Amino acid sequence: MATSPPSGSSPAPFIVTAELPADLFRWADGLRRRYFPPERNVLAAHVTLFHSFAPSLREELPRVLGRYAGEFAPPEARLDGLMDLGSGTALSLRCAGMLAVREAIAEHFHGALTAQDRHPPRLHITIQNKVERATARALQAELGPTLLPRDFRFSGLGLHIYRVTHWEPLGIWPFRGKERA
């Protein structure tokens, strides 16, 4: 389904996410709903791989995401603690396999990446942002001692279009490749 921007505005960019398994998503999204300032919480819990692909890539992105999701097995990952965002808090994730998937996609789109997307991300799920530093530190002190490491597998790749107040989902491609030796 093609999307068109509102008249008089520039075309909207695309965002690519690593999809979380349902149980981890529900838990992280619950934390986000509880701790993210409600007036700014317009997104569900997510893991951003790429922040902004050009609208001109609308036809190519789904094909590329489908190809890599088909080639890669669900990457093994670990939630290993909290990440201090300064004015917020995130769940820190480690996943060499997801970074390899992201690198393959980045190589495919070499020359079309924004400056922000040219560098591998620190994988995380933001559960609080744009709060006073003391508020962020208080949440980290509260959650830190109770947060246990957790192993999981990412389930797929997601594609979204940026809208001013939200991200509109365009598709999810489940990982279905074989384990690599």
Domain boundaries, the chain: 14-174
Specify whether domain 14-174 bears CATH 3.90.1140.10.
yes
Residue with tokens 């995130």: 90
How far apart, in Å, are the Cα atoms of 95 and each of 8, 61, 117? 41, 22, 18
Q: pTM, whole model, 2 decimals?
A: 0.91
Give the CB-side neighbour count of residue 60, counting CA atoms within 13 A: 9
Mean pLDDT of the chain: 92
φ/ψ of residue 34, rounded to 5: -75, -40
- Note the pLDDT tens digit of each residue in 13-50: 999 999 999 999 999 999 999 999 999 999 999 999 99
Q: How confident is the model at residue 165 (pLDDT cuts 50, 70, 90)?
A: confident
Q: Are 53 and 62 in contact (CB under 8 A)?
A: no
pLDDT tens for each residue of 42-64? 999 999 999 999 999 999 999 99
Q: Which helix (H) or strand (E) holds 96?
A: helix 96-108
